Amino acid sequence: MGHARPNLIAVHDLFASVIRWGSPNGITSQSKNLTFLWSLTYYIALPLGAIVVGLILWSAIRYREKPGQERIPRQVQYHIPLEALYTVVPIVLVVVLFVFVYRAENRIDNVSKDPALVVRVDAFQWGWKFTYPTGYQVIGSVATEPSINSPDLPVLTLPAGETVQVNLFSDDVNHSFYVPAFLFKRDAIQGINNSFDVNIDPGVAGQRFIGECTQFCGLYHPYMRFWLQVMPKAQFGTWLATHHGITTNASAAVAPLPKHGGRTK
């Protein structure tokens, strides 16, 4: 039964995706808050929608005009209990959603006073600079990196299973740091330190995820990509201790100007 397992995984993934209402699976503890919020909204909206549509259909069928019964129905000016109900129910829903949004935002934006690692990320026209506490730097410039999916993209290596704080800066115009698997992005704005924490799920250690700039920042914006390499916590210390100086991708060819000013293959 060698094929049973992959099928089970596929079924499990499909089921998990359905109960999340299509939300991608976030890889940080912060992203779980967002997925919960997303799913909660659906679990509230769907029964409510079903009740509203059901009542419309029921009353349209139940009180339709039958042949031989042509008459004006009894005219009602107001119905206090009904009006109170459809005023109170939406207010309760908005309050409930507000409370959950507030809680989720607080957890996602929470910045630890005692993170295990602080990494500085500088976005610039056009590329990324990652600086570690040891002084080790990765500088990936798209002026020397023409391909958006190249394995030579700059690599941001982060440990799983502990709190990582990212201090985000911009050297020039507005950029935005986005790792889709984090279900999170944050703007990089000149003169402002935007800090956020991520606690990456140990289950994805060893995997790579794509990151990109999502704020249109000029000609080479579509090339502003990077890899996020997740490393087991135990390995990360050794890795950092053996990396020094500055790593660049300057060996790559000089990028040609994009022909249509947009995304190329």
Site string for Cu ion, 149-178 (x = CB under 5 A): --------------------------x---
| Residue with smaller CB distance to Cu ion, 44 or 210 | 210
- Report CA-CA distances (Å) from 175 to 20, 91, 194: 30, 37, 12
Shortest Å distance, C-beta 147 to Cu ion = 17
Shortest Å distance, C-beta 135 to Cu ion = 25
| Residue with smaller CB distance to Cu ion, 219 or 246 | 219
Contact yes or no for 182/28 (Cβ under 8 A): yes
| Residue with smaller CB distance to Cu ion, 145 or 201 | 145
| Residue with smaller CB distance to Cu ion, 154 or 159 | 154
Shortest Å distance, C-beta 222 to Cu ion = 9
Q: Which of residues 18-77 bind Cu ion (CB under 5 A)?
A: none
Is residue 186 near Cu ion by the rule CB under 5 A? no
- Which segment (84-92, 191-199, 224-232, 239-247) binds Cu ion by CB under 5 A? 224-232
Is residue 188 near Cu ion by the rule CB under 5 A? no
Structure token pair of residue 175: 């950029």
Provide the strand spans (E) within the chain. 117-124, 127-131, 137-141, 155-159, 163-170, 175-179, 184-188, 194-199, 208-213, 225-231, 246-248
Q: Which of 104, 119, 213, 228 binds Cu ion (CB under 5 A)?
A: 213
| Residue with smaller CB distance to Cu ion, 209 or 223 | 223
Is residue 224 near Cu ion by the rule CB under 5 A? yes
Task: Give the number of residues in contact with Cu ion, rule: CB under 5 A.
Answer: 4
- Report CA-CA distances (Å) from 69 to 16, 61, 66, 122: 52, 14, 5, 75
What distance in Å separates the CA atoms of residue 265 and residue 255, rounded to the nearest whole number?
A: 13
- Residue 134: half-sphere exposure toward Cβ, Cα within 13 Å: 14
| Residue with smaller CB distance to Cu ion, 173 or 204 | 173
Contact yes or no for 23/183 (Cβ under 8 A): yes
Query: In terms of DSSP bridges, do strands 155-159 and 246-248 run parallel, antiparallel, or are they unpaired?
Result: unpaired
Contact yes or no for 158/231 (Cβ under 8 A): yes
Interaction site with Cu ion (CB under 5 A) = 175, 213, 217, 224
